[in-house]
Amino acid sequence: MATITRLGSLAARSHPRYTVDQGGSRSVGSDFAITVRTYVFGNLAVRTIGRSIIDEEIAFCGALLHDLGLVPAHAGENRFEVDGADAAREFCLKHQVAPERADRVWEAIALHTSAGIASRMATEIALVHLGAGLDFLGLGIDQVPPQSLEEILTSYPRLNFKSAFRDLLVEHCRRNPAAQILD
């Protein structure tokens, strides 16, 4: 069963399925804090617009694994969002998550960079989109109370996030330039 850990007035979820080796070889990439920030920011964002999260575990899983397609072991021939969504769905199914719930994780990850689409879908999908947009681009950062923002960034610091993420994106584009062409 999932547990709630307090981050001041914010709740961040943890679950044994998503425990990540904090040593040298984590399966979800080199910056675990971004995934937690995505969840916490997304959670704040969807609640601010009056939406309720129906499936917290799926929302957390989508946020935790949303950049999995940038990790070399999961990078394929598609856009990183789709490669990551495929790997996340496989992970969920391997850990006995029901197929329809695994599909919701797939949608959340595949659409997390899709402005105008993800925010109109199920709250778990919107959470990953809004959380990633807030963390990566600062979209809606002015809506986060300064004390909450400070608490989140103190607990889950950005460190060298922007340069490391940029390097991952550049490497992905070099490895697979055709996947970056938008129809």
**pLDDT tens digits for 29-87?**
336 778 899 999 999 999 999 999 999 999 999 999 998 888 888 888 888 899 999 99
Question: Is residue 2 in a domain?
Answer: no
Q: How many domains does the chain have?
A: 1
pLDDT in tens, 96-152: 999 999 999 999 999 999 999 999 999 999 999 999 999 988 899 998 999 999 999
- Does any domain span residue 155? yes
Burial of 78 (0-12, 13-18, 19+ CB in 10 A): middle
For 80, the domain range is 29-177
Element (H, E) at 88: helix 80-94
What residues does 6 pair with on adjacent strands? 11
Higher-scoring residue by pLDDT: 60, 27: 60
**Confidence band, pLDDT 50/70/90 cuts, at residue 183:** very low
Answer yes or no: is 98 within a domain: yes
Higher per-residue pLDDT: 4 or 77: 77
45, 122, 140 from 126: Cα distances, Å: 9, 6, 14
Compute the distance between CA of residue 162 and CA of residue 15 in angstroms, rounded to an integer. Answer: 27
